Structure formats: structure tokens, C-alpha cells
Amino acid sequence: MFDAIAPLAADLLPFILVGFAAQIIDGALGMAFGVITQTMLVSALGVPPATASASVHLVEVFTTGTSGASHLWRKNINWPLFWRLVPAGVIAGVLGAYVLSNVDASAAKPVVMLYLAAIGVFLFYKAIFFGRWPRFQDPRFTRPLAFIGGFLDSAGGGGWGPVVTSNLLVQGGDPRTTIGTVNSAEFLLTLAVSITFLATLGVSAFSHAVIGLIIGGVAAAPIGAILTSRINARLLLFMVATVLTATSLFTVARSWIL
């Protein structure tokens, strides 16, 4: 029996490790799970973009559900903001999944990533001049932002966290509750997107990597929520800015090279 399980475990181990590392970053900073896992599936394994996006979103149903419950436990959720983000994000996510299933929507991705890299640089500036006693304010530009983030997340293979989290922080949102709220809202978005992919592409679109990514991501989700609640706001901004800038520039460079 062990001889039969060992090859399967060896095949899943890389995906478990990737899922674990990606979810630690995503749970703590509100972004990067989709970017990291999608990059691995498409670039390293040659999985078609629609199939990779479908697989990642199915995984995120489990990871964001666990992450959302963990952020709820740590009281990291701003509920009024949550309910402003969810409806527009879900509608746009379903629309984006339909577009990706029928049309190649990747052409605009480098432009979006350049914009996010610029946002990352601006967040560095905010972190440097953060002040000892920062004053936070409730973000106002939320529903259109959620619509853009939801569409890019499903059609572009990732974008909810980078687009929504970063822009809410630019508007003065508290880093702890912004990250917790965006992560929690993502559960309903990924659930709707996964159902859409299942309806348009079928079960065969999901690769075997899903199992390993789910195991690693679910195991890491509570750790990310704990880190968010314990890291001070200024350091969180620095970390978000670093991850956002690095992943965005990497994606742009990869698209130009390929």
C-alpha cells in the first residue's frame, strides 16, 4: 500500500509546498496566492491559462474559506466594507470567468501589472512617511474597485488581492482590517468564479495540482491571519509594497520575454 501511495505523495509534494508558501504570503498581506500558483502552473508546467485559472480558483475556495474564518477569529474584518466589496466583485468575477473561457483576455495584463507596480512604489512612499500615530479613514472608492478587481482576477488569472488591497490602502484603509476584509470577501468571489468555470469548462479543466495546492494552502491559512493581526501597520505596508512591486514587475518581464 505504501508503495502505491509514495509516488502520489512525491507528485503532490511540490504543489503542497507552493500552496503553503503562497498562502502564508496571501493570508498575511492580502495578495499573491493567485500570482504565485498561476505562474507555476502556466510557466513551469505548461497548463493553458483558462485551465490554470480554473484550478487556482477552485483551490482558493478552500484557502480563502479557511483564511476568512481565521481573519474572523482574529477580528480582522471590517463588515461594512466587506458588504460593499462582495456584490460587485462576484458579478465581475463571473463575467471575467466567462470571458476567459471564450476569449483570450491576456493582452492587457502587462499594462495592469505596470499600474500595480506603480501603486507598490507609492505604498513604499506611504510607509516611509507613515508617522508614529497614523490616522486611518474608511475608503470611499470601493464598489467600482471591487468590480475591476473581480474581473481581472478571473479573466486575467489573478488580481483581486493586488488591485483591491493596494488601492484600499492608498485610500487610507487600516492595513490589518483591509487585508482581513479583502481576504474574506475573496471566498465568495472564488466560489462564484469556480462554479462558472465548472459550468463552462467542465470538471476535466481542473488539473491534479489542485489537491496539493489545497492541502498546502489550507494548512497555511490560519498562520497568515495571525501574522496580519500581530505585525504593525507600517511594516505591513512595507511588506505589501514589496510583494506587489516584485510580483507585478516579474509578470511584466515574463510577458515581454515570452
202-243, pLDDT tens digit by residue?
A: 766 566 678 888 888 889 888 888 888 888 877 887 888 888
Q: Which comes out higher in pLDDT, residue 115 or 190?
A: 190
CB atoms within 10 A of CB 141: 11
The DSSP annotation for 103-133 comes to S---TTHHHHHHHHHHHHHHHHHHHHT--SS
Report which DSSP code applies to 206: S
User: For residue 148, what are the CA distances in angstroms to 24, 190, 230?
Assistant: 25, 15, 30
Domain of residue 174: give its range: 2-257
**Residue 226's pLDDT is what?**
85
Please say if the pLDDT value at position 32 is more than 90: no
**Residue 245's pLDDT is what?**
83
**Residue 96's pLDDT is what?**
82
Flag the least confident range among 12-16, 98-102, 119-123, 238-242: 98-102
Please say if the pLDDT value at position 36 is more than 70: yes
**Residue 166's pLDDT is what?**
84
Please say if the pLDDT value at position 56 is more than 60: yes
Distance CA 47, CA 220 (A): 24
Question: How many folded domains does the chain comprise?
Answer: 1
**Residue 79's pLDDT is what?**
95
Per-residue pLDDT band for 38 (boundaries 50, 70, 90) equals confident
